[in-house]
Structure 1
Amino acid sequence: MKSNIIPTSSKQSGLRGGRALLVGAGLALLASAVAVRYKTQQAEMKNPPTGRFIDVDGVRLHYVERGHGQPLVLLHGNGSMTRDFELSGIVDLAADDYRVIVFDRPGYGHSERPRSTIWSPQAQAGLLHQALQKLGVERPIIVGHSWGTLVALAMALEFPSAVRSLVLLSGYYYPTARLDVPLLSVPAVPVVGDVLRYTVSPLISRAMWPGILKQLFGPAQMPQHFEEFPVWMVLRPSQLRASAAESAMMIPAANTLSKRYRELKMPVIIRCGEDDRIVDAHEQSGRLHREIPQSDVVLTPGIGHMIHHLVPHQVMEAIDQAAKASQPARVVSEHVHRASTHLN
């Protein structure tokens, strides 16, 4: 009869192996944490705030302001910051005719994001509305890109008399099945997400960055000016948490807001790349246009998610169209249009 007794020497060897594995994993996490901390400090030193700060309800918001004229507010997407709009050229182009205000949304760039608040589109809309009131901004044109379109829509729905018109770029407006959401949301999970954000998540994200850019810009090539984008600023643990939280919130936020789109009365100008790899242009932008009578939509073929970088002059034309539109708005389009493939 065979014995099931494991020799003491084998048990001790197994225990030693397990301890060695735990020690090795701990040292690897420690090394990752040191590297992430160094990269974070280096990124913040190289990219100090270029704008001003305003305190609203105990939240310190960073914003960049340029130009004079009709107020124009720019809201960046998930995982981004004010630098995104600056690099695209939109800020320089718009500052000739508009008072341009670009916010770092809560948790991004140099803006705070208190963990005591669930920063839904409605919560961000309320905060930014108060910020604009403090800045003396009345009835601005609101431009939102990607996740920023949800905040722009929330502002228009919650404070309709305070918004002149909307320009929505590459937005996600209706709930759909998204396989990427569970993966992208992990860094926002309490405890486990906190550990990952300060150790391996930034390093993994940096290794994936070239592939992420192909998804964002494809099928077009990434413009050379985007090489100046401060990658490590968006990979900091604090910003990764904001980004993950918004990924988790995206589907329910779109579900809630989509029930109210017909309440919108101001002009709505919709622009997107027809070949967007992040959101389906026809399913999202095309559907929104059909639901809002006073909207105008253009789908540009050969263009991906980062439309403001690839065709900035088309975006400026949309902003000018929003500025000229009267209120109550006239119906500016009855069909989905396709823009030319010319890249500015």
Structure 2
Amino acid sequence: MSNLFTKRKTRPPAVAALAVAATTAVAAAIWNRYKAKRAEREDPPIGRFVDVDGVRLHYTDTGRGPCVVLLHGNTVLLQDFEASGVTGMLAEDHRVISFDRPGFGYSERPRNRLWTAQAQAALLQRALELLGANRPVVIGHSWGTLVALSLAVDSPAQVRGLVLVSGYYFPSARLDGVMTAPAAMPVVGDVLRYTASPFAGRLLMKKTVQAMFAPASMPEAFFGSMPREMLLRPSQIRATSEDAALMLPAAARLRDNYPSIDMPVRIFAGAGDKVVDPESHSARLHGVLPNSTLDIEPDAGHMVHYKIAALICAAVSDIEAHTPHSATADSDGDQLEAMAAS
């Protein structure tokens, strides 16, 4: 009788292991959700919101003058351009609009569409129309360059020129795309984003960012401007993973359209970039764009805009000098800016 009772109470090892794993996963999901909510309480939105086609976008809008739009790269938030100094310098004599791209920061990323660079560009173009942004110069960093180029290809009349920084422009194998692919998958990705991925991110984040800045040093205040836990929320990990998976097809789509881009383009890269090879991408793009310039900075890496913020702002002024607005366009833009500000 005693043996029978013992057998009934003993679980097979596989079942016991599965129960432990399930309990651990649930506990991890609860903890990561708590950390995400706490991060949002401690770092609330710094800008405004605009609703476009059922998507709520977070943006900042500072300064007055000719419009410049800033599009950040993967992983980070719109604060990246503020931390680098680009936003502040430009806002002295420009209207500067910075977006959290869909899924990043406080911008939504609905699951009812595939958020390709083309889809993001179309959404942001409609947002710019609502905000009264008249023919801006568009600055994109890293993944943001794909969105900037998509705007130039699909809405050329609405873009005055491009400043492209540390971009990936031609399809090539990417290790980060392979590594993040599981987190971009439905169901499996949801489980990873709420359990293992944030913990792995906490272990690797600092070294990853240091590698992005290398050979330059990571600024000590970087994670003050870009709170670590904001970057490790499950929603942001989903956006980061999906963008990494969509990078290669985005470049493949754009590649054949590069020779048709006749607006001024200023291309910047860091010579020591270990994320995107500057010769294979920035130098090659310069070779096929008819109205472009190229500046490859020594002793700088993927986050080159932290070192050359002043040069990037000068490139904006150079584009404006070569593509003057008409008086009518400037007047209309000022009126729309005043409406948006109110």
TM-score, normalised relative to structure 1: 0.89
Note if contact 1:266-1:327 (Cα within 8 Å) is conserved in structure 2: no
Of residues 69, 77, 80, the one that matches 1:73 is 69
Matched residue, 1:311:
308
Determine the C-alpha separation between the residues in 1 that align with 2:189 and 2:299: 37
Listed as ranges, the gaps of 5+ residues in structure 1 are 1-7, 329-344
Q: Which range moves more in the overlay, 168-177 or 33-42?
A: 33-42
Note if contact 1:223-1:310 (Cα within 8 Å) is conserved in structure 2: no
2:161 aligned with 1:157, yes or no? no
Matched residue, 1:250:
247
Determine the C-alpha separation between the residues in 1 that align with 2:211 and 2:312: 20
1:166 counterpart letter in structure 2: L
Matched residue, 2:259:
262
Aligned residues: 319
Determine the C-alpha separation between the residues in 1 that align with 2:219 and 2:310: 14
TM-score, normalised relative to structure 2: 0.90
2:126 aligned with 1:127, yes or no? no
Report SS of the residue matched to 2:46. coil
Determine the C-alpha separation between the residues in 1 that align with 2:221 and 2:238: 27
Determine the C-alpha separation between the residues in 1 that align with 2:324 and 2:65: 19
2:262 aligned with 1:294, yes or no? no
Deviation at 1:29, TM superposition (A): 1.1
Of residues 237, 241, 256, the one that matches 2:238 is 241
1:109-161 CA-partner distances (Å, limit 9, x unpaired): 11111100111111111111111111111110000000000000000110101
Note if contact 1:188-1:244 (Cα within 8 Å) is conserved in structure 2: yes
1:53-88 CA-partner distances (Å, limit 9, x unpaired): 111111111100110000000000112211111111
Matched residue, 1:3:
none
Q: Higher relative contact order by CA 8 Å / sep ≥ 6: 1 or 2?
A: 2
1:192-234 CA-partner distances (Å, limit 9, x unpaired): 1110101111111111112201221111100123131211112
Determine the C-alpha separation between the residues in 2 that align with 1:186 and 1:135: 37
Matched residue, 2:337:
none
Determine the C-alpha separation between the residues in 1 that align with 2:167 and 2:317: 19
Note if contact 2:286-2:293 (Cα within 8 Å) is conserved in structure 1: yes
Listed as ranges, the gaps of 5+ residues in structure 2 are 326-342
Determine the C-alpha separation between the residues in 2 that align with 1:122 and 1:280: 23
Determine the C-alpha separation between the residues in 1 that align with 2:77 and 2:55: 17
Q: Which range moves more in the overlay, 16-25 or 122-131?
A: 16-25
Note if contact 1:267-1:327 (Cα within 8 Å) is conserved in structure 2: no
1:79-110 CA-partner distances (Å, limit 9, x unpaired): 22111111111111110011000001111111
Note if contact 2:61-2:97 (Cα within 8 Å) is conserved in structure 1: yes
Q: Which range moves more in the overlay, 148-157 or 117-126?
A: 117-126
Matched residue, 1:182:
178
Deviation at 1:16, TM superposition (A): 2.6
Determine the C-alpha separation between the residues in 1 that align with 2:305 and 2:221: 12
2:164 aligned with 1:168, yes or no? yes
Determine the C-alpha separation between the residues in 2 that align with 1:204 and 1:227: 17
Report SS of the residue matched to 1:142. strand
Give the percent of matched residue pairs that are identical in Structure 1 and Structure 2.
47
Q: Which range moves more in the overlay, 313-322 or 58-67?
A: 313-322
Determine the C-alpha separation between the residues in 2 that align with 1:291 and 1:55: 37
Q: Which range moves more in the overlay, 263-272 or 33-42?
A: 33-42
Matched residue, 1:272:
269
Moved over 6 A (4+): 11-14
Report SS of the residue matched to 2:146. helix
CA shift in 2, pair 1:173/1:327, >3 Å: farther
Matched residue, 1:86:
82
Matched residue, 1:212:
208
Report SS of the residue matched to 1:224. coil
Report SS of the residue matched to 1:153. helix
2:286 counterpart letter in structure 1: H
Determine the C-alpha separation between the residues in 1 that align with 2:322 and 2:278: 24
2:307 counterpart letter in structure 1: L
